[in-house]
């Protein structure tokens, strides 16, 4: 046997402070009412830092700072000068990427190989990409002189803390807006390190403000009358509440919400690569991915063979310490999320689906869930309809391409889909009919700053990434 010795990435590259304030107007400040909460390492339940909780007054202070910076500095600044700051931020992110990756894995629970090889390269790439747009906005296709919107309120989730920050902040700043961003309450630390990077880049005060807190802080932010634009990524439930809150106001809104993507495998698919794609589709980032391929639709005549390969491959997945460089699946982000995954998985068993996980030893402390597949799932099962947001795959079968389309589309969501076949014509035929914002062909979970991303139906509206991602931040 060939056992891999522990290969831990060093924690010493990152210096976590015991407490963090709010980042308002270019400085770290204490919250007005002195509230705070703890951010923990989900792999060990160890407290990493105490973080300020922003109340309504703090949010107000941040929005005012953003407004002043927008009117006096950032809005009037020529695009080529805004670009300089964004390029500078992008370069600092690259220089400090190891530090940021370790902190992301500590706070979020995701394996270091993903934060190092996926999250951080994409974060830097987003800033580089939108830096390039800052002085070329008249050529983005939104008229000869598109203007910024003003102050953007941005609320982001915990699954890709720094990457979601980049998706929100980079286009907003490139277009000339200023921002108040609220990171998720379980993963605030990389956003606060990003605030330090803004200081290091000498970004003018008030252009980026970070207010930490939970739902109440988020509500205060999106409901603040001084906000011109709201951008939210998170659950469909909260997205609905935000849409109600901004209805009837002048605020513009983009939402990137849940998903229940179909990963569709035809009988002529390259089997070994399709299995890799299935694994990457659902077990990447512990399945905490809004566009995860959480429903496997496999053609019935190859289902047994594909499942056999899939199970063999799943037995190779290494679950454990997120900082070990050989870990494939890290910790579930929070006790609450673990409870939800357990509840839906139990419902899957109770409704008669067959549950399977590879033999897999889970650590005692922290929040863990073994990679799991359910076979014999039908469209009527809860696990085929509700977003689990965990490492749980529901396997369904189909007989014909038309049936595959019908089943794939038979969900209130429409964020992404995957197609696996050797036939180019079938890929195009399917892509025309799938109601999903992103359709991957013979691959899955591929992201690039130049490519727009967003949903159909209850997966939200508006696009992030690419030229399209500028639209939400421009008066067009």
Partner 1 sequence: MTATATSARSDLSELGRSETALRTFLHGLPGVDQVGAEQRAAQLGTRSIKTSAKAQAIDLAIRMVDLTTLEGADTPGKVRALAAKALRPDPADPSCPHVGAVCVYPAMVPYVAEVLRGSGVHLASVATAFPSGQAPLEIKLADTRAAVEAGADEIDMVINRGAFLAGRYAEVYDEIVATKQACRDAHLKVILETGELATYDNVRRASWLAMLAGGDFIKTSTGKVPVAATLPVTLVMLEAVRDFRAATGRQVGVKPAGGIKTTKDAIKYLVMVNETVGADWLDPDWFRFGASSLLNDLLMQRTKLTTGVYPGPDYFTLD
Instruction: Name the residues annotated as catalytic.
Output: 256, 290
In order, the DSSP letters of 104-157 are HHHHH---HHHIIIIIHHHHHHHHHHHHHHTT-GGGSSS-SS-EE--EEEEE--
Residue 451 binds to partner 1 (criterion: CB under 8 A): no
Nearest to 155 by CA among 172, 140, 139: 172
Nearer to partner 1, 257 or 274 (CB): 274
Instruction: Tell me which stretch binds partner 1 (CB under 8 A): 166-174, 190-198, 271-279, 292-300.
Output: 271-279
Nearer to partner 1, 86 or 274 (CB): 274
- State which of positions 7-26 bind partner 1 (CB under 8 A): 7
* The residue to which tokens 């689906």 are assigned: 353
Q: Which residues contact 449 (CB under 8 A, 6 or more apart)?
A: 122, 125, 126, 128, 129, 130, 170, 465, 466
Residue 304 binds to partner 1 (criterion: CB under 8 A): no
Report the nearest approach of partner 1 to the CB of residue 358 (Å): 13
Among 35, 121, 132, 270, binds partner 1 (CB under 8 A): 270
Q: How far is CA 56 from CA 59, 212, 223, 296, 355, in A?
A: 5, 12, 10, 44, 46
Report the nearest approach of partner 1 to the CB of residue 40 (Å): 26
Residue 110 binds to partner 1 (criterion: CB under 8 A): no
10 Å CB burial of residue 46 (0-12, 13-18, 19+) is: exposed
* Alpha helices (runs of H) in 315-423, residue ranges in sequence order: 335-350, 382-385, 401-409
Nearer to partner 1, 32 or 442 (CB): 442
- State which of positions 61-80 bind partner 1 (CB under 8 A): none
10 Å CB burial of residue 264 (0-12, 13-18, 19+) is: buried
Among 10, 18, 34, 316, binds partner 1 (CB under 8 A): 316
Instruction: Tell me which stretch binds partner 1 (CB under 8 A): 195-203, 216-224, 264-272, 348-356.
Output: 264-272
Q: How far is CA 63 from the centre of its chain?
A: 24
Q: Angle CA(238)–CA(242)–CA(243) in degrees, nearest 5? A: 115
Residue 300 binds to partner 1 (criterion: CB under 8 A): no
Among 410, 443, 451, 475, binds partner 1 (CB under 8 A): 443
Residue 360 binds to partner 1 (criterion: CB under 8 A): no
Instruction: Tell me which stretch binds partner 1 (CB under 8 A): 24-32, 54-62, 262-270, 389-397.
Output: 262-270
Nearer to partner 1, 36 or 442 (CB): 442
Report the nearest approach of partner 1 to the CB of residue 112 (Å): 10
C-alpha–C-alpha distance, residues 86 and 228, integer Å:
22
Residues within the interface to partner 1 (CB under 8 A): 1-7, 113, 117, 268-273, 276-277, 316, 325-326, 422, 442-443
């Amino acid at each position: 046997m060939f056992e891999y010795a522990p290969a831990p990435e060093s924690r010493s590259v990152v210096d976590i402070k015991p407490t963090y304030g709010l980042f308002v107007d270019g400085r770290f400040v204490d919250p007005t009412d002195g509230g705070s909460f703890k951010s923990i390492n989900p792999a060990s339940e160890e407290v990493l830092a105490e973080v300020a909780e922003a109340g309504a007054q703090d949010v107000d202070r941040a929005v005012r700072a953003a407004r002043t910076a927008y009117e006096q500095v950032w809005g009037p600044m020529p695009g080529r000068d805004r670009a300089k700051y964004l390029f500078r931020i992008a370069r600092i992110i690259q220089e400090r990427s190891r530090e940021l990756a370790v902190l992301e894995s500590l706070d979020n629970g995701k394996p270091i190989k993903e934060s190092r090889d996926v999250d951080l390269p994409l974060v830097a790439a987003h800033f580089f990409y939108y830096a390039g747009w800052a002085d070329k906005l008249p050529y983005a296709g939104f008229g000869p002189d598109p203007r910024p919107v003003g102050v953007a309120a941005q609320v982001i989730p915990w699954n890709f803390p720094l990457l979601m920050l980049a998706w929100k902040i980079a286009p907003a700043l490139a277009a000339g807006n200023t921002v108040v961003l609220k990171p998720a309450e379980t993963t605030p630390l990389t956003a606060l390190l990003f605030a330090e990077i803004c200081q290091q880049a000498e970004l003018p005060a008030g252009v980026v403000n970070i207010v930490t807190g939970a739902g109440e802080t988020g509500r205060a932010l999106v409901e603040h009358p001084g906000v011109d634009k709201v951008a939210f990524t998170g659950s469909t439930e909260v997205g609905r509440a935000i849409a109600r809150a901004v209805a009837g106001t002048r605020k513009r809104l983009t939402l990137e919400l849940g998903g229940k993507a179909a990963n569709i495998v035809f009988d002529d698919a390259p089997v070994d690569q399709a299995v890799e794609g299935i694994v990457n589709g659902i077990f990447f980032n512990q399945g905490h991915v809004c566009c995860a391929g959480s429903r496997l639709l496999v053609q019935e005549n190859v289902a047994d063979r594909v499942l056999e390969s899939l199970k063999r491959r799943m037995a190779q997945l290494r679950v454990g310490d997120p900082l070990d460089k050989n870990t494939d699946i890290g910790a579930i982000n929070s006790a609450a999320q673990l409870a939800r995954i357990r509840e839906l998985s139990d419902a899957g068993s109770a409704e008669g689906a067959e549950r399977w996980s590879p033999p897999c030893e889970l650590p005692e402390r922290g929040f863990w869930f073994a990679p799991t597949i359910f076979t014999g799932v039908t469209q009527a099962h809860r696990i085929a309809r509700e977003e689990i947001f965990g490492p749980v795959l529901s396997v369904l079968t189909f007989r014909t391409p038309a049936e595959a389309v019908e089943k794939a589309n038979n969900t209130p969501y429409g964020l992404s889909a995957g197609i696996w076949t050797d036939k180019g014509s079938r890929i195009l035929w399917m892509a025309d009919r799938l109601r999903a914002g992103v359709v991957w062909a013979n691959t899955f979970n591929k992201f690039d700053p130049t490519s727009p991303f967003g949903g159909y139906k209850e997966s939200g509206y508006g696009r992030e990434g690419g030229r399209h991602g500028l639209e939400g931040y421009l008066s067009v």
